[in-house]
Amino acid sequence: MFKTRLLSGIVLVILALIVIISGGYLTLFSLLGISLIGMFELYRVFKLEKTPLARVSYSMAIIFYVSQLFGGFIDPMAMVMFFLILLMFVYVFAYPKYSAKDVMAIFFGMFYVAVMLSYVYQIRVLENGVYLAFLIFICSWGCDTCAYCVGVLIGKHKMAPVLSPKKSIEGAVGGVVGTALLTVIYTSVFRTQMGLDTRSIVVLAVISAVAALISMVGDLTASAIKRNYDIKDYGTLIPGHGGIMDRFDSMMITAPIIYYLAVYFL
């Protein structure tokens, strides 16, 4: 299992490098594909993956991503209202086939997966976006690795004993500190290319630390949903890791955090 997980991880890193460095259409449509698969996996947990409600959500995700090619011509609030109205149409005219709980699950999934992952692309199109985008991976996958290593070595106090008994407070601290250090190393290496001064490196390290801390909430959120529905993994697409939702859960919440903090503080 470890060998399979390691090999899959290496392939994922290589694919991530290709997708982020390439930018443009490849980045956008790769993220759209990942989002659609992730939404399908999440809706499958709710037993709604092939319903008209889900099809409306998939269609809205496609429209939303395509709009990014034109600078996001869809006003976010207009999209929220239009999406909700479409779901209400299905809910009303198919009544009593679906419950209000089903509508809310579909609504949640669209924003939790598709919209939040889209910030990877939105970061990529920023100035220095090709470098900033890799902070998402540092803050999610890097944090996971650092937290795991520190937790195994010195972890004693449980962070969420009921939800995730293996995660410790010491591991969480190690993940945050490790992410900040990785960011300092990474930004120092590419300091000239990014045009950074010492202040900017410190700011990015703090941004990464905050994003790493919040990424744990994303990871635990995905775990909580699995616990609620008594499943082990969201899928089997990635050998040794599970599905898209199992591997990209923390990234979904990390990307928008890094985007907004970078825009406002850099």
Taking only the tens place, the pLDDT of each residue in 73-123 is 677 788 889 999 999 999 999 999 999 999 999 999 999 999 999 999 999
Residues 83/107, Cβ–Cβ less than 8 Å: yes
pLDDT value of position 8? 80
pLDDT 10s digits, 35-74: 999 999 999 999 999 999 999 999 999 999 999 888 766 7
| E strand or H helix at 168 | strand 164-168
For 132-189, how does the pLDDT look when each residue is reduced to its tens digit (9 = 90+)?
Answer: 999 999 998 888 888 888 988 888 888 888 888 888 888 999 999 999 999 999 999 9
Mean pLDDT of 216-233: 91
The two tokens of residue 89 are 């149409």
Rounded Cα gap, residues 8 and 81, in angstroms: 39
- Characterise 170 by phi-psi region: left (phi > 0), alpha (psi -120 to 50), beta (else): alpha
**Overall average pLDDT of the 197-214 stretch:** 94
Assess whether the previous peptide bond of 161 is cis (omega < 30° from 0): no
pTM tops 0.85, yes or no? yes
CA distance 130 to 179: 18
Written as six digits, the tokens of 199 are 């202040």
**2 falls in which pLDDT band (50, 70, 90)?**
low
Identity at 39, one-letter amino acid code: M
